[in-house]
Structure 1
Amino acid sequence: VSLVLVVVRLVMRDTIKHAFSGVFGVAFGVVFAMMTGNAKDFYLPGMLYTLGLALAYIITTLCGVPLIGLILGPVFKENLSWRTRNPGRKKAYAKASWAWGLILLAKCAILFPLYWWADTTQFGWVLIALKIPPFLLAVWLTWVFLAKAPAPIDVFAEMEAAEKAEQERKAAAGSAE
């Protein structure tokens, strides 16, 4: 299926980056399962990645630098200004990071026992069912928290305004001489 998606994207002359990353992920899982001789091990790298991501969200939040803020700060043109200049925004990023971390941990709490005790087919269906709903819940909670937060400080606009003011000051000083 992954290879078919690559071909479809090539025919449509669309970007193939995501299709190739899917092929890479599937190939990695297949190689892992082949090495261990257990079909269920196909899912293990993804599960370990999910656990690592959950811990990253939680640990970065505990350290005062929520991962969601590190990801979304540059998107909202605030970089890391939210850490010191916008405490309400930092609190919203922390809440969102907690949500992501706890949702992913809950997913792991369901999947790891099933990995050990369920048969491969049952486990595969549960894993598929737990792909999109937890992700959508985390995205929705992030939106809720950020919608209530103070607006981001556009540090790029501030730098451009300061640069323009400096140029105007120099121009005024040059014309005064």
Structure 2
Amino acid sequence: MSERTTADDGRTTADVTTVEQLVRQQLAAALGGGRGILEAAVPTVSFTVSWLLTHDLRTSLAVSIGLAVLLIVVRLVQRSSTQFVINAFVGIAIAAVFASRTGEAKDVFLPGILYNGAYAVGLVLSILVGWPLVGFLVGAVTNDPTGWRRDRAMVRLCARLTWLLALPCIVRVAVQYPLYLGDHVGLLGTSKVVLGWPLQVAALLAMAALLGRNATPLERRPVTEA
């Protein structure tokens, strides 16, 4: 069965015939493409690198926030979406508040640890209760928030994709929280870089590999409730 979906800007996307094609389209929109992902990572990465080089909290925060503002200005000049840059700006602003209140550089990383922990818990719970979060991305593009759950193949695929989204968060918390407790700011900074962009790319590549199979027909089969 072929489906035609409509993007948020009103444009009609190409017909899709498999679950993988449908989910791949929506994930690309949700993540903002390569530019959106890169822009979202710049403020955090710039803070980490600056702190590792200078060990100066104010300078590092200034560099990070300055770059975020610059990226927002570029987007505004180009009249393109600022969504992903603003998300990153809000994240580094919250980190700055945490660190400024305590004067501890390690507290820049605390909001990220808390966020990843909460996000991981939410993703895993969504899988365990049979409503994997990625399914709602599918529902957003099909204009049927829960219709995807009537397709067994769709539910299984969305569960696998949700696990792939959760794993980087779980790894970050498992590595960074002990470093935070031990006040190992240098190692926290290094782990932030290593477990940030590279780990996210690895997860996205794994998702792309899974979605690249294009093997699951878009069929509607009732899901039997437990």
Bin for the TM-score computed over the shorter chain: 0.7 to 0.9
Decide which of 192, 205, 215 is 1:127's aligned counterpart.
192
Q: Which amino acid aligns with 1:22?
A: A
Decide which of 107, 113, 116 is 2:181's aligned counterpart.
116
Of the structure 1 ranges 57-66 and 129-138, higher mean CA displacement relative to structure 2 is found in 129-138
Structure 2 residue matching 1:151: 3-state secondary structure: coil
Structure 2 residue matching 1:133: 3-state secondary structure: helix
Write out aligned runs for 1:86-97 (5 A). 86-97=151-162
Deviation at 1:3, TM superposition (A): 1.9
**1:110-141: CA deviation from partner (whole Å, max 9, x where unpaired):** 11112222532331122012112222232233
Residue 171 of structure 1 corresponds to which residue in structure 2? none
**CA distance in 2 between partners of 1:19 and 1:148 (Å):** 32
Please, what is the CA RMSD of the aligned residues? 2.4
Gaps of 5+ in 1: 155-177
**CA distance in 2 between partners of 1:103 and 1:2 (Å):** 24
Instruction: Point out the structure with the larger helix share.
Output: 1
**1:72-93: CA deviation from partner (whole Å, max 9, x where unpaired):** 3333566422322x21221111
Residue 208 of structure 2 corresponds to which residue in structure 1? 143
Name which structure has the greater RCO, CA cutoff 8 Å, separation 6+: 2
> 1:73/1:13 Cα in 2 relative to 1: closer, same or farther (>3 Å)?
closer
**1:29-66: CA deviation from partner (whole Å, max 9, x where unpaired):** 11111112211111111221111111111101000111
Residue 86 of structure 2 corresponds to which residue in structure 1? 20
Check whether the contact 1:99–1:138 (CA below 8 A) recurs between aligned residues.
yes
Residue 104 (str. 1) matches residue 169 (str. 2): yes
Residue 30 of structure 1 corresponds to which residue in structure 2? 96
Check whether the contact 1:92–1:149 (CA below 8 A) recurs between aligned residues.
no
Identical aligned residues as a percent = 29
The alignment covers a number of residue pairs equal to 153
**CA distance in 2 between partners of 1:100 and 1:13 (Å):** 30
TM-score of the two chains, using structure 2 as the length reference: 0.59
TM-score of the two chains, using structure 1 as the length reference: 0.73
Q: Which amino acid aligns with 2:159?
A: A
**CA distance in 2 between partners of 1:143 and 1:37 (Å):** 41
Check whether the contact 2:168–2:199 (CA below 8 A) recurs between aligned residues.
yes
Structure number with bigger Rg: 1
